[in-house]
Structure 1
Amino acid sequence: MFSLFAKSEDSNSPENPSSGITSDVLNFPEGPSTQYVQDLMLGFVHKHNNFLTITQGYADLMLSGSLREDHERNLTTIAKSARNAVELNARVMACASKDLPQFEKVELKSFLQEREMRIKQVAGEQNCEAIIELGHEDGDVHTDPFWLDIILSEVVQNACEASNASRITVTLLPDSETKSGRILEVRDNGDGISEETLSKVFTPFFSTKGREHMGIGLTRAGSLAAKLGALIKIESSSPGTTVLLSLPPQA
């Protein structure tokens, strides 16, 4: 049976000495594995139940009059729980959807320039500084810009949430450093990831960041990347973690 979370064959090759895993574990040759579907559905129900419990509990207390003196704070909690549930729906639907990408030519340098403020905003929400290194070259890729935006946002958010990370750097690597296509690199200055944890990062709802963290971001990113013919490789050492997003070139 196809193994969902097995490391790719070249993850420890001489050219790639760092411990790593690639998103081809989500590129199912015969469709999603039973394990993947079970993990996705069980995690979805569990997370959704948490949000509904918060919403129902605070609403019942307000209706009973027990929290009448602090309606604003309680309504804020209910609204936050509802937003989280909606966000969860969107992420899981992206992992399970049969929608096809809308391919077009995308100039990566222009793409990053247009999204620089958004990347810094995503990082800032996690108290993390974002540095964008565009280089002097541009490169055309064949991809869906909307999906690419989602993938990059998920990778950036995950990098900023790394243990003790205070800075991430997003770099468009020059052609001379790539074998095919173009590569976006996202590096953080955190503590790194253990090999055991690294092998599970694409597992639906796996997280080391506590029960409030959804643990679906990299699963979503990996699923969308597979549909784009792209590949995410995650390498970690101490300190820091590097995510390489390889995109097919414009034909």
Structure 2
Amino acid sequence: MVRVTYKKLFMGALAALGLVAGMTASAQEGDMSREAIAERLKPVGQLCLQGDECGAAAVAQASPSGGGQSGEDVYTSVCAACHATGAAGAPVRGEAADWTSRLEKGMDTLYDHAINGFNAMPAKGGNPNLTDREVKDAVNYLTEPVRGEDVAIDTGDSEGEAAPAAQAGAAPAEGEQQVAAASGGASDIDGAAIYGQICMACHDTGAAGAPKLGDDTAWAPRLEKGMETLYDHAINGFNAMPPKGGNPGLSDAEVQAAVDHLVSSVQ
């Protein structure tokens, strides 16, 4: 008969208790480790598709006018490339001397130039997806360091956003573009006006090797390639010239009209 002393029973109970406690602690530690790892691997952002509710509150607070990107965000992503460096003659943010003559024209003029394009600056900085409101907020941010406190600005407090089709410079519907192209619609478009807004920055000065308006010598080898080639280069881009002069909102027919105006000066 095996005799078991109380001492051995006590020691066995302690050992079993220690084993159970160790396993419990290990399991808890494992759970905590998994949670910690999951927390460290959690993405910093979240993909939010149009129509989803995720991030809606943050978007609504982004712009002081109540929607879309803030003026600073638009400036950073679209405008800073030129307005932080002075590229293509753009007035630099914070440089009072650059802005004096421009501010004298009034904020409405600056808004119009930014939305519809002016000289070397394409409409909406080359991003047609921006709303007029977002562009105006970007102009407000851009001029803030040099704008007097007495200058009235458009903050959108009492303005409704115009429907895209009614906005100035809205691109024609796809069907209209096809009809215009098929009928040589460029003849009904003011190519000189488009040239004055988009093309003249390079083609009046010869910047980046662009053939100047009226320069027979510069245009001679280009005309030999034919008008279809010139249209293609203007629409799709060629060498230093961006597609559609940097304004993707232009229709092909409008670009062709601008090319016709350029070519007419040497024929």
Q: Establish whether TM, by shorter chain, passes 0.5.
A: no
Greater fraction of residues in helix: 2
Larger Cα-atom Rg = 2
Higher relative contact order (CA 8 A, sep 6+): 1
TM-score norm. by structure 1 comes to 0.28
